[in-house]
Amino acid sequence: MGDARLGNRIRAFRKLKGYTQQSLAEEMGVSLALVGSLERGTKTPSERVLRKIASTLQVELEELCAITDKKGL
């Protein structure tokens, strides 16, 4: 999956769950800059970070990384 597409999915799930970039970063224990870079697709997350994002947003890792799904995200 391209980084931009993953970044768009992270952003969509973040907004769907009511998080700001800042609140997601704080909940995950990472910097705001990292969350922004991931959403813009300028940084590729490690598997550990992907798992942390999925856990924080309460979505399955497979759903977060899927190219398309039933929700159209």
What does each C-alpha distance from 36 to 4, 30, 69, 70 come to in angstroms? 12, 11, 23, 26
Higher pLDDT, 37 or 68: 37
pTM: 0.85
Q: What is the pLDDT of residue 73?
A: 54
Q: How confident is the model at residue 67 (pLDDT cuts 50, 70, 90)?
A: low
The backbone torsions φ and ψ at residue 41, rounded to the nearest 5 degrees and listed phi first, read 80, 15
What's the pLDDT tens digit per position in 11-39?
A: 999 999 999 999 999 999 999 999 999 99
Q: How confident is the model at residue 3 (pLDDT cuts 50, 70, 90)?
A: confident
Q: What is the number of other CB atoms lying within 10 angstroms of the CB of residue 44?
A: 14
